Amino acid sequence: MPRVDPSSWTLRIHGLVEDELEMTFADLLEEPMVTSHVTLTCVSNPVGGDLAGNATWLGVPVRTLLERAGVRDGADMVLSRSIDGFTASTPLEALTDARDSLLAVGMNGHPLPAEHGYPVRMVVPGLYGYVSATKWVTELKVTRFADDAAYWTTRGWSARGPIKIASRIDVPRSFAELAPDAEGAVMLGGTAWAQQRGIAAVEVRIDDGEWRPAELGAEVSSDTWAQWSLRWEGAEPGDHTVAVRATDGTGEVQTDERADPVPDGASGWHTVQFTVT
């Protein structure tokens, strides 16, 4: 894990810009900052996996610094570089539109932990981390997809990496045993995410039954996961299977078509087997 001295850290913004910029950590801390709640997701996350996490980030909007540098016509990508040589290819529009794409210096009310890229990392809602979430970032090169390729792109992964709709069953775990309450019901629950679109609905299917609407918790923002729950009344003793699917804020329903994480993220419905005692 890189250990970076903030007193010697610098950020260089160059490439297809009118004026190159170089900033120290002290310079960055003087910039106006925003707080944003964002769920980050790894492209390697399998269906039902735990490679997703939600946090409150504090940082400088990337678009502010790109506007200051003056992006030239024809640019469509920013190649970010970590102090350890890792690179990520982020579509330019994701760093210049209204979303809170940040050069983050804080996480959950504290300075970034070392494992999250202290002193500065990128946070870009709506894109898998391998094309956006560069830790220990030191360089932003404004360029073109036709001219530059990032670390994972050269290894067969998609160059752009938009996050797919996903939903996950957290309760019950696979092969768990659930005891009904006094009224003969068991609780099912989990999370769902579709960053930049939000979650409009989650549905649950028990065994081969009809899809049932789950109850959604309060949404923090369209860039964070939503918690869902379903109280299954009259749960019958025995072995059962539960599946989940989500609908995003645009009305797109999560596909049941299974896909591996390579090259642009997993897809399919998460299914869990469990027993009601």
Cα gap 169→91, rounded to integer Å = 31
Question: Which domains are present in the chain?
Answer: 10-155 (3.90.420.10), 166-276 (2.60.40.650)
Confidence (pLDDT) at 271: 98
Confidence (pLDDT) at 224: 97
In terms of C-beta density within 10 A (0-12 exposed, 13-18 middle, 19 or more buried), how is residue 110 classed? exposed
Model pTM score: 0.94
Closest CA to 161 of 124, 128, 123: 128
- Whether the CB-CB separation of 19 and 95 falls below 8 Å is answered with no
Confidence (pLDDT) at 90: 98
The CA-based angle 91-97-99, given to 5 degrees, is 100
Confidence (pLDDT) at 219: 83
Confidence (pLDDT) at 190: 98
Q: Where are the beta strands (DSSP E) in the chain?
A: 10-15, 21-24, 34-41, 52-61, 77-82, 87-91, 102-107, 110-111, 121-123, 137-143, 166-171, 176-178, 186-193, 199-206, 211-213, 215-216, 226-232, 238-248, 270-276
Residues of the chain with pLDDT under 70: none
